[in-house]
Amino acid sequence: MSNRRRGWGLIALAVGLSVAVAACSGEPSGGSLARDEIVDVSVACGPTLVFLPQEYAMRAGTDREHGVELACVHAESGPEVSAAMIAGEIDLALMAAPNLFALLEQEVDIVAFMAVLDRSSSDLVVHADFSLPSADQGWEGVMRDLQGATIGVVARGAAAEDLARGLFIAAGLDPDNATYVATGLPPTTLPALENGEIDAAIISEPGITLALENDLVVQPFSIRELTGPPSMDWASVVYTATREFAEQNTEVLVQFTQIWQESLDALQEPADRAEVVEVTSDFLGVDPGLAESLLERNLPYFANPLDLDPARLNPAGEFFHQTGRFPVAYHVEDYEFDIHE
């Protein structure tokens, strides 16, 4: 693969993908929320599009209207989020399916109470200079071409690597015939791609759209657009808490789902698009044109309604069990916390 530099300024753009961090954790409070009570709740945050409804709510003050004040705790990877939750530093967190399953496997009492994405949170991109002679043979051909490649993942042994390995296994290939390198979130993965340190990456938004629109990468198939393995048609991201926090703060979870729903509705309202583009642009540090592209590509992937649908989530458990990542197939019944009981 060529290491020649391109003049797109992606490194500078990537550095601009940041969020404000306020690392404080709220104390649990059982029972219903009083009208004049504001409960501090710490939430995991990061510079990726999946956090947009949460960010929108905090900027609009929707959280305080529901008696909750959300405070961001920045985390770079699933394992960091998991460790912070176990330590009581984060109350609520988005979690991709493999990271949730890894905690269940370790017998951590983690629960999910709300669906977030109806597709994978990440996707595969390949450097534009990397040769893909078998791409005309579909996703299986692409994975054969990637044997021996260096693939960037958020963190070793976490969800992105599980996804990459799962793609190889689904194609009947040995996942150990590729090299996996921890490159973090889009702000650090994009420079790794641009500098030729990696041949491909499992990356989340805004990294996918940013890299595609600047011709840094190609996307010969898409997990999210369902042109990859048929077995990867599943919902992948849920909102989680420890069971202890959920049981002591059920009303907080109820209010949080309402906060998220109101923000999601606002993000999808055509009349509010100009404001939504402005918020997205500022939040992710990208220009308004790219923000518009991000919204067009990704808003349809957000789960709506927010119920934990076994028909959409259980296939993820089956996939990661069939690929050998977990000894059992984790289903919604294994981790659901019903906030309406």
Longest distance between any two alpha carbons in the chain, whole Å: 63
Q: Tell me the pairing of strands 200-204 and 150-153.
A: parallel
Rounded CA gap, 101 and 103, in Å?
Answer: 5
In the prediction, which pLDDT does 62 show?
96
- Dihedral through CA 103, CA 165, CA 156, CA 187, nearest 10? -110
The verdict on domain 18-119+235-334 having CATH code 2.40.50.100 is no
Q: Buried (b) or exposed (e) across 241-275, using 16+ Cβ within 10 A?
A: bbeebbebbbbbbbbbbbbbbbbbebbbeeeeeee
Residue with tokens 């926090």: 245
* CATH classification for the domain delimited by 123-232, as one of 3.20.20.70, 3.40.190.10, 2.60.120.260, 3.40.50.1820: 3.40.190.10
**Segments in the chain forming alpha helices (H):** 10-15, 52-60, 62-65, 78-86, 97-105, 138-145, 159-170, 186-194, 207-213, 243-248, 250-267, 273-284, 288-298, 310-322
Q: Buried (b) or exposed (e) across 310-339, using 16+ Cβ within 10 A?
A: eebbbbbbebbbebebbeebbbbeebbbeb
In the prediction, which pLDDT does 46 show?
86
In the prediction, which pLDDT does 36 show?
64
Rounded CA gap, 194 and 208, in Å?
Answer: 13
In the prediction, which pLDDT does 37 show?
81
CA distances 270 to 48, 116, 273, 321, Å, are: 22, 21, 5, 40
Neighbours of 231 (CB within 10 A): 14
In the prediction, which pLDDT does 19 show?
33
Phi (first) and psi of residue 85, to 5 degrees? -65, -45
**Could you give the 3-state DSSP secondary structure of residue 231?**
helix
DSSP per-residue letters across 80-138: HHHHHHHTTS-SBEEEEHHHHHHHHHTT--EEEEEEEESS-SEEEEEETTS--TTGGGH
Q: Which amino acid is at 290?
A: L
In the chain, where the domains are located: 18-119+235-334, 123-232
Rounded CA gap, 53 and 256, in Å?
Answer: 11
DSSP 197: S
Taking only the tens of pLDDT, the chain with its 341 residues reads 433 233 334 434 443 443 333 333 333 334 445 446 899 999 999 889 999 999 999 999 999 999 999 999 988 788 889 999 999 999 999 999 999 999 999 999 999 999 999 999 999 999 999 999 999 999 999 999 999 999 999 999 989 999 999 999 999 999 999 999 999 989 999 999 999 999 999 999 999 999 999 999 999 999 999 999 999 999 999 999 999 999 999 999 999 999 999 999 999 999 999 999 999 999 999 999 999 999 999 999 999 999 999 999 999 999 999 999 999 999 999 999 999 87
In the prediction, which pLDDT does 33 show?
58
Q: Which residues pair with 281 in a beta bridge?
A: none
CA distances 240 to 53, 170, 301, Å, are: 16, 28, 19
